[in-house]
Amino acid sequence: MPAYKRVLLKLSGEALMGDDAFGINRATIERMVAEIKEVAEMGVQIAIVIGGGNIFRGMAGGAAGMDRATADYMGMMATIMNALALQDAMKHAGVEARVQSALRLDQVVEPYIRPRAMRHLDEGKIVIFAAGTGNPFFTTDTAAALRGVEIGAEIVLKATKVDGVYSADPKKDPNATRYSTISFDEAISKNLQVMDATAFALCRDQKMPIKVFSIVKEGSLKRMVMGEDEGTLVHV
């Protein structure tokens, strides 16, 4: 039996790149969709918050010196592009998904409406939240924490390219150890960068656990929702 009934999956835009410099790697997104489909078929309700770094990275040169709010709105639109690509890949895999955006773009995606999102989840659809919170200066990490609390998710699953939270940077320190579990207070005292400060504080205040794991590892999402020792659990 799955350990969770409703989860919020935070996917970074970079996770969609595969080995490419920017953009979307089709083989990578299809593999992720296959894993999401497998977990959804187990009866787990899945909502996804997606970043836009993979697309915005390709525009980084042109964004140099740009007003921060303008750059953030461009980043929000990049998340909508990623959400549509993910929805399309799910459609081809036979998975029904809905994109809801914090920015109004009604001809392309639904606006974010909490009761509608929860109804989609109850009907077994995947819900993809795009455009972050709809406000500049807030990251998609914060959007993940906010949407997770709003829809009553049991946990935020932060998908990265690293298989958990380490005592030090594992790329620089071969002796760095992975934490299986760690409390919010411990992570703060040890200055471990789990999520941005706003998102982290919201999860702690709402007693929303966070699981950090590697989306690159095949089968990691299923192992996590089954409650196996995968990634790092950050808890109250």
Binding residues for UMP: 52, 72, 133-140
Q: How far apart are CA 37 and CA 162, in angstroms?
A: 22
Residue 60, burial from CB neighbour count under 10 angstroms (0-12, 13-18, 19+): exposed
Closest by alpha carbon to 163, among 209, 228, 226? 228
- Per-residue tokens: 104: 């109004």
Neighbours of 2 (CB within 10 A): 14
- Per-residue tokens: 100: 């809801």
Residues in the chain, total: 236
Q: How far apart are CA 68 and CA 44, in angstroms?
A: 37
Residue 41, burial from CB neighbour count under 10 angstroms (0-12, 13-18, 19+): exposed
Q: Which residues are annotated as a binding site?
A: 10-13, 52-53, 57, 72, 133-140, 160, 166, 169
Q: Which residues are annotated as a binding site for ATP?
A: 10-13, 53, 57, 160, 166, 169
Q: How far apart are CA 62 and CA 31, in angstroms?
A: 31
Q: How far apart are CA 45 and CA 30, in angstroms?
A: 19
3-class SS letters over 72-105 = HHHHHHHHHHHHHHHHHHHHHCCCCEEEEECCCC
